[in-house]
Amino acid sequence: MEKIVDRFLRYVKIDTQSDENSSNMPSTEKQWDLLKLLEKELKDMGLKDTSLDNNGYLMATLPANTDKVVPIIGFIAHVDTSPDFTSTNVNPQIVKYVGKNVVLNSKKNIVLSSKDFPSLNNYIGQTIITSDGSTLLGADDKAGVAEIMAAVEFLVNHPEVKHGPIKIGFTPDEEIGRGADKFDVKKFGADFAYTLDGGGIGELEYENFNAARAKISIQGLNVHPGTAKDKMKNSILIAMELNSMLPPHQSPEHTEAYEGFYHLTDIKGTVDSSSVSYIIRDHDKGKFEKKKDMMIKIVDHLNMKYGAGTVKITMVDQYYNMREKIEPVYHVVELAIKAMKELGISPKIIPIRGGTDGARLSYMGLPCPNIFAGGHNFHSRYEFIPVKSMERAVDVIVKISEMNTR
């Protein structure tokens, strides 16, 4: 069997960054590179019904090796990486972490330290994988991809481990909120599934943010600054005014646990025109709706102040909290809890401060909680993953598959 580290390193070196400005699916051609590789590897391992459709959804079946009639389980991960930071020419580094700062790039003085990222302290004495500081690593979610593939390979090579039918799914464009847009739940054919897209070892999640995206355009009026009195409308200043009207304590850097936020993700502008983008998040559906209402009221106020049509907003819901769909089938969560405990892993049931394909899929009829993949500091140059956490994620996949037959 290929070591999980070697498999992971092969995958992260393939650039699969998605692009929210593209209308294609997958949004970038380069995602096909990993999808086609995975398709070949699944076929080489002997999986059945392996298919890669025109939208970039890769599905396969590991047939049952037991006569027992058991629920059909799925395991899902996404192949794309975040547009938030480059994933071109990823150069992974394998480091034995001894509690000291990890120098990612000496020339640029880029350092991974426990002072900035206290979670590092949980892995003293362990081997971790980082990037070289010039790119993200891609553990989100190539760790999940590698773990699923490693677990499948283990089960293929160890027929003494009994399991029911197992469905494998790899999706594109999760990072831009489109990972489940055209996922064919009926074709996938699982009774329930798990995404491998979580953080540290033991994390198990079945509730996530309600999510919306807001894109705002501001039309100013540019005249010569020497004659601008009572004429100029500076769209950049209006954008700044808009942002100042949002609650300052409701931003990502000031919130945790179940606290929602407004997150300014992009701003471009000149005096004449500007554009601003936000994401809006809250676990509580009522608070989520109030946040969206506040954004609309701010836009209405600015239009009253500066003239109708000055500020235009387009707001789209992206996904909802899957808790509503998981609680009626909580045995799905309990199976994962029991599997972790049997492996000596302490389950950490926490809310996702984000979303996964599983959130959308749960509303599409496929209950789909999220299991740890092991990584930390996703979407940044400081991303890292402990090797042991990846190995334990593989163990959990295998154990869930085995326990499903009991």
Please tell me whether residue 381 adopts helix, strand or coil conformation.
coil
**Any idea which fold 4-208+321-403 has?**
Aminopeptidase (3.40.630)
> Which residues, at least 6 apart from 208, have a Cβ–Cβ distance to it below 8 Å?
283, 319, 321, 322, 323, 351, 352, 354, 355, 356, 359, 370
Rounded to the nearest 5 degrees, what angle is found at the Cα of 227, between the Cα atoms of 221 and 228? 35
The span from the CA of 88 to the CA of 12, in Å, is 10
What pLDDT score was predicted for residue 2?
A: 79
pLDDT tens string, the chain, 406 residues long: the values are 679 999 999 999 999 999 989 999 999 999 999 999 999 999 999 999 999 999 999 999 999 999 999 999 999 999 999 999 999 999 999 999 999 999 999 999 999 999 999 999 999 999 999 999 999 999 999 999 999 999 999 999 999 999 999 999 999 999 998 999 999 999 999 999 999 999 999 999 999 999 999 999 999 999 999 999 999 999 999 999 999 999 999 999 999 999 999 999 999 999 999 999 999 999 999 999 999 999 999 999 999 999 999 999 999 998 999 999 999 999 999 999 999 999 999 999 999 998 889 999 999 999 999 999 999 999 999 999 999 999 999 999 999 999 999 8
In 220-260, the DSSP E strands lie at none
Whether 173 and 179 have beta carbons less than 8 Å apart is answered as yes
**Which tokens hold the place of 135?**
């790119």
Whether 135 and 93 have beta carbons less than 8 Å apart is answered as no
List every span in the chain annotated with CATH 3.40.630.10: 4-208+321-403
Comparing CA positions, the residue from 303, 232, 283, 291 lying closest to residue 262 is 291
What pLDDT score was predicted for residue 18?
A: 98
Please tell me whether residue 1 adopts helix, strand or coil conformation.
coil
Comparing CA positions, the residue from 81, 46, 3, 148 lying closest to residue 378 is 81
Can you say whether the dihedral through the CA atoms of 141, 134, 13, 116 is positive or negative? negative
CATH of 210-319, one of 3.30.70.20, 3.30.70.360, 3.80.10.10, 3.40.250.10: 3.30.70.360
The span from the CA of 204 to the CA of 200, in Å, is 10
The span from the CA of 339 to the CA of 354, in Å, is 25
List every span in the chain annotated with CATH 3.30.70.360: 210-319
Active-site positions read 80, 174
Sheet holding 127-130, edge to edge: 93-96, 127-130, 384-386
The span from the CA of 141 to the CA of 174, in Å, is 9
CA distances from 200 to 119, 130, 396 (A): 9, 15, 13
User: pLDDT for 247-302, tens place per residue?
Assistant: 999 999 999 999 999 999 999 999 999 999 999 999 999 999 999 999 999 999 99
CB atoms within 10 A of CB 324: 12
The secondary element (H helix, E strand) that includes residue 102 is: strand 102-105
User: pLDDT for 126-157, tens place per residue?
Assistant: 999 999 999 999 999 999 999 999 999 999 99
**Which tokens hold the place of 406?**
């009991």
What pLDDT score was predicted for residue 177?
A: 86
DSSP 45: T
What pLDDT score was predicted for residue 1?
A: 62
The span from the CA of 231 to the CA of 213, in Å, is 32
